Structure 1
Amino acid sequence: MKLSHWLIFMCLMCITVSTSAQKRNKVYEDYIHKYRGIAVDEMKHYRIPASITLAQGLLESGAGKSELARKSNNHFGIKCGGSWDGRSVRHDDDARNECFRAYKHPKDSYRDHSKFLRSGARYAFLFRLKITDYKGWARGLKKAGYATDPQYANRLINIIELYDLDKYDHKGGLEWAEEFPNPHQPYLANELLYVVARRGDTFKSLGKEFDISHRKLRKYNELPKDYVFRGGEIVYLEEKRRRATKDHIAYVVRSGDSMYSISQKFGVRLERLYKMNNMDPDSPAPKVGDILRLR
């Protein structure tokens, strides 16, 4: 065989091998089909590209086949950390017998992943990127230390491009971004998502932006139907909890505080706040300097 023919043959072989290596995996496709709706929903709420969420889920969980995903519904390899007080399991990773978070349902894992990124100071710079910049997000996650694998960003990008996951950042997600060109910035309190209302906001407009029933928004925030936002109010997008986090055991009342404003500040249901402090709605308002229990 002439050298030129041999080179052509080898090139064709390389192309064939490369194409074969890039062939889609049905297990991956099944995982994407199963969880893409959740990923898009998380994108709408937390501004994390659905493509990144899906690629991380695929990579971290082995498309849902890893022991951690199968037995503990942990699809993102999130370890317990100092603030975690939920269910946990022990699993070998960078070290032996490390503590990992465990969830009742994979959807809980997706929500915790969103909160993990949104509340982590080292990931804050990612939220200045465009929601369609999956390459920037992938490289940023590696830079922030999400994973120790030096090829982590490239692996995410390759998965996204092989399975066309970035279409989920556009389809529906892009239409939503165009409809709300100045979206509300989401924050976390008591591990709950909230936004700060602007003058002119309504329950319906906020509900449409975050795909939540306006009736649920009123219920979550314990506000009457005819309430008019003045701007500056905390508006929870999830139901408030029965108590505050371990970091907030008690609160010293300040000037301008009310039982309602304190319940909103710490994400605690108003009736629970009254009950924990042996009070009821007819009780005198707390005075400046009073100490209220939050848990």
Structure 2
Amino acid sequence: MTVYVVEEQNSKKRIDKLLSDINPDQSRSQVQDWISKGLVTVNGNVVKANHKCHLGDKVEWSIPEVQPLEIEAENIPLDVVYEDSDVIVVNKPKGMVVHPSVGHPNGTLVNALLYHCDDLSGINGVERPGIVHRIDKDTSGLLVAAKNDVAHKRLADQLSNKTIERRYEALVHGVIEHDTGMIDAPIGRDPKDRQRMGIVENGRNAITHFRVIKRYQKYTHVECQLETGRTHQIRVHMRYIGFPLVGDPKYGPRKTLDTNGQALHAKVLGFKHPKTNEELYFEVEPPAYFNDLLGTLDL
């Protein structure tokens, strides 16, 4: 059990912000997860993440030790788009989980990277070696991993500073009338369903830009550009404005096209090389299923 008595400089600070400041090696989302599980109390009471602390409050938290998974290197084919001694860029297939978890101990991108690479950064621990950012299991496309801690930190800084370019192609339900748009709505854990994300008042800032590529009778082919990178951001934002992704089992309608998961592809990835500062730009076309699906739609 760790105890902290709130000092004047931290008075009126949100409890999630306070704890993430006290625990700099933990992300704010991780701290919010602790709070949601009742592992944090203020003056003996369980609180919400937006609770404001006051001078003299007694904050207590007890975090169980994470039992590290035994991660095995697996000879899984990788579509390597670019690789050097600092970074590796891969085109992840639809259906592949990025990092191991209790439900997915093997067959992940991390298992494949451990076999393919001699070394990966250790900043995110043994469960997520090299992983700077992630894309969902059923989202295909570009992802960069770091081979050392210096590269990892510099790429993470670019993510934080919103200088990494990430553009996606998606197919959504409904016909979007505007050619372009911006969605600015905070994203956080859905209070009614902890397995989902949603637009919540005290969520994290999230901005998505979209552009219509082509309209069909009942669907729209769009390009989405991320300004921030929240969990399920495009899926949540497009649902929020009334145009959920085709095939999305979590945020889409029950009646949708059979795509085995959301029709979403990370097409473009651009960033500065963490060592040379060279501008790198990569683009991969959507997988065959995506283009085949577009070919079946009526204009």
TM range (shorter): under 0.3
Determine which structure has the larger helix proportion and give its number. Answer: 1
Is the radius of gyration larger for structure 1 or structure 2?
Answer: 1
TM-score (norm. length: structure 1): 0.25
Determine which structure has the larger strand proportion and give its number. Answer: 2
TM-score (norm. length: structure 2): 0.25
